[in-house]
Amino acid sequence: MLSESSYDEVPLQKRGQIIHNYQCYGKSVLGYPLEVFLPLSKQISYLIMAGHHGDEPETTTVLSTVLRTVAPEHLNCAVVLAANPDGLSRGTRANARGVDLNRNFPTTDWSSHPILHSWLSKEPKTVELSPGVKPASEPETQALINLVSTLSPKVIISLHARLACIDDPRETELGHWLSNQTDLPLVNDIGYPTPGSFGTWAKEKNISLITFEFPDESIVSIRRRLSPVLYSLLNGVAK
């Protein structure tokens, strides 16, 4: 695995801002732009996205850190840093309407029942969130669906926290590589139902999607441990 000191494409002095091309692919409920950072070439290997749940800010912070080390001419992935900017700005799992965006996709198993999650990690699931008034009711969901259709990535890698695993239902070569590089277990099922999830939607559309679950560690620890792996993905080094 590469060490964090192994890549220096962008000098430290220039890493204070993102220098990659980007497009706005939609707007959130509160009107925040939904941004996708794009490679200079039109060929896109992966779509890597973070911040689908606003209470998982480590995904956005670490992915942004790595993106700022990659020179524009070497980026070969599309990158979404904040799929749920309303949630990230408010520190909530859901968007501004209280909808869990990762349960709002138009799947055959979408359910109108409230979603329960834990107030603190490993506590009972008692906090209620909405799956939306109907599938794809939220502008963030609609925009992401349209983005995937426009980009047609070979693989989607969705960053989440804090289950510490690589969830790859197809058990692909990339999934095995990620597991080997991160020492996180490769699983083909997260272990509980996720009706209306992005992963289920992708599966029903025959799109390869890997959920990269960060460990329950500090952002500093995750950055040191996983930045080299994300760099390999963004820079096209991943096998």
- What pLDDT, in 10s, does the model give residues 28-78? 999 999 999 999 987 788 999 999 999 999 999 999 999 999 999 999 999
Indicate the number of domains in the chain. Answer: 1
Alpha-carbon span 33 to 66, nearest angstrom: 21
Q: Amino acid identity, residue 18?
A: I
In this prediction the pTM is: 0.93
Q: What percent of the chain has pLDDT over 70?
A: 95
In a domain, 27, yes or no: yes
In a domain, 239, yes or no: no
- pLDDT band for 239, please (50, 70, 90 cuts): low
Q: What is the CATH number of the domain that holds 26?
A: 3.40.630.10
Per the structure, the complete domain to which residue 222 belongs is given by: 4-234
Q: What's the chain's average pLDDT?
A: 93
Active site residue 213: yes
In a domain, 197, yes or no: yes
Which residue bears the tokens 């904040």? Answer: 82
Positive or negative CA dihedral for 200, 201, 203, 204?
Answer: positive
| Residue among 171, 204, 213, 217 flagged as catalytic | 213
Assess whether pLDDT exceeds 60 at residue 5: no
